[in-house]
Amino acid sequence: MRVLTGKWKGEILWRLGQGTLRFGELRRSIPGITQHMLTTQLRDLEAHGLVKRTIYPEVPPRVEYELTPSARDLGVVFREIRAWSDKHAVSLNLTM
């Protein structure tokens, strides 16, 4: 569970679950995250084998991030958490 804890890791994994993203695209898709925090969290997720980072030898370099197969296996878990939160949103005061 330690690999998944943190304010932004779940959000990053959720976004990458939608498909491969470049750093700027990922940052724009997560309101409130700083460049430094996104970099830190991506490095941690990559070190734990949940995110794959691909650097393309272009000028300027293009870097893309995607989920690894082991991270994709978490999709079932995230869908269940989403269903649970949808079901209990009112009682948990999660509605906006």
pLDDT averaged over 10-residue windows placed end to end, the chain, 96 residues: 81 93 96 95 95 93 94 88 84 70
pLDDT value at position 87? 87
Burial 46-56 (b: 16+ CB within 10 A, else e): eeeebbbeeee
How far is Cα 69 from Cα 71, in angstroms, rounded to an integer?
A: 5
- Which two three-digit tokens encode residue 77? 């878990």
pLDDT value at position 96? 52
Domain ranges of the chain: 9-52+64-88
pLDDT value at position 34? 96
Please give the CATH topology (third level) of the domain spanning 9-52+64-88.
Arc Repressor Mutant, subunit A (1.10.10)
